[in-house]
Chain A
Amino acid sequence: MINDVIDHLAGITPGSPLDRLRARRPGAREHAQRSFDALFTPDDDSDVTLVERDAIAAFVAGLHQDAEIASFYADRLAELSPGLLKAVESEIEAGGTTGPYGVYPDGGPLAKESDEGLRYRARNPADLGVRLAAAFEHAHLLVFRPREAREGDLDALARAGWSATAIVTLSQLVAFLTFQIRVVAGLRLLRKGSAS
């Protein structure tokens, strides 16, 4: 049983210097975990199913190219829907790139900072289904080029069957993971370099 996913992934054990360090920010620690719980074991999954949550998380974690974190989320998906994992792995391969990038509006004050990059489309949308294919494309946008997000991107999700409430949950899921993965990466380095 994992009590705290960030501790688990960052290799922080009870009583260690990093454990004591995290105890100095008890609200952040408790509520980062509560965010995970609210996203992955929600009271109500009628807007976004558990399989959808785990599939999107496995995709997002895979895009971050951290083997341990990617395995953690891939294993969760494999447990719930083993058939879907292969399709997700193929999409991670199709979506692999480095970010953040993205164009700013033409003629606007930031246009000179525009930075072109991959605009991922689901490689095998039939394997994912309409809803997940749209969710993966949106997740990729959020992970790598959020500055390009436009109102029309939400229309595309709506056409694929995502309700307004589901879009909020989906956005939180992807955005939360971009936080959690970075906290893990940072704390891991701090743990390795900790003198005590």
Chain B
Amino acid sequence: MTGFTQDQLGWEPWLAPLTADELTDEHYEALVDKARAASPYFLLLARDPDVLHARTKTDVDIFYNADSGLPRAERELAATATSRRNGCVYCASVHARFAGHYSKRPDDVQRLLDEGVGAPQEGTWRAVVDASVALAATPDEFGPEHVAALRAAGLDDLAISDTIHAAAFFNWANRLMLSLGEPTQEAGQ
């Protein structure tokens, strides 16, 4: 197993994904984007197509809806911080690359990966990381102080809601990635 990294990793399932021959129209609809039929992760989740479809649509709106709210870079930062706290090396690698790309701050992202969620970050990033980490706790530790810090960093209610959703969603994603397979050093197929 590798440590946390921004390198491209592969992911191998521990259960048999559906094969190309097994995919029906319903499965393709569940995958939403046909390119996902190349991913063993999505082909494994396609065993329950209704849930996969709803999950994918939820994911897409939380991360790609560009109608104001939290900028994409900070949504990806919330995903990265959550994955770092929960221990999902694979999810962290993917979303750290996105966070670094959209923010043009790959060094700040790398520090989060190397030193953990407590590593120094400035301004909005500090507030987003802290909120994400508090939400990752069970029971959650997210409190009025986290909302206040996000507001003080200049986030409006929609941006705070986006932070909550991006962090919460990665509690879902991390648990699937961590428990249904494992990361590999090679780039994904």
Contacts and interface: CB of A to CB of B under 8 A. Distances in A.
B29 interface: no
Most chain B CB within a 10 A radius of its CB, from A35, A37, A143, A187:
A35
A161 B175 CA distance: 21
A179 B171 contact: yes
B172 A178 contact: yes
A31 to B, nearest CB: 4
Given A144-B138, A193-B144, A193-B147, A38 B178 contact: no
A186 B131 CA distance: 10
A102 B142 CA distance: 21
A34 B136 CA distance: 23
A172 B143 contact: no
Chain A contact residues: helix, strand, loop or mixed = helix
B38 interface: no
Contacts, number: 196
A141 B86 CA distance: 12
Contact of A21 (B85, B146, B158): B158
Contact of A185 (B16, B55, B89, B142): B142
Nearest to B175: A175
Contact of B157 (A17, A142, A153): A17
Contacts of B171: 175, 178-179, 182
B20 interface: no
Given A25-B61, A171-B179, A172-B51, A194 B157 contact: yes
Contacts of A182: 135, 140, 142, 164, 167-168, 171
Contacts of B97: none
A105 B60 CA distance: 33
Contacts of A179: 168-169, 171-172
B15 A167 contact: yes
Contacts of B178: 146-147, 149
B161 A25 contact: yes
B151 to A, nearest CB: 8
Interface in A148-184: 149, 151, 153-154, 164-165, 167-169, 171-172, 174-176, 178-183
B61 A187 contact: no
B59 to A, nearest CB: 9
Given A38-B51, A182-B167, A31 B175 contact: no
Contacts of B15: 154, 164, 167-168
Interface stretch (B40-48, B99-107, B122-130): B40-48
A108 interface: yes
Contacts of A185: 135, 140, 142
A90 interface: no
B23 interface: no
A126 interface: no
A184 to B, nearest CB: 9
Contacts of A169: 47-48, 51
A93 interface: no
24 contacts: A17-B157, A22-B161, A25-B61, A25-B161, A27-B65, A32-B58, A35-B58, A38-B51, A39-B51, A66-B139, A98-B138, A108-B3, A110-B89, A141-B179, A142-B179, A149-B179, A168-B47, A169-B51, A171-B175, A172-B51, A172-B52, A175-B173, A182-B167, A183-B168
Given A27-B57, A38-B50, A38-B53, 10 more contacts: A25-B61, A30-B57, A37-B54, A38-B54, A42-B50, A63-B138, A99-B138, A172-B51, A175-B171, A175-B175
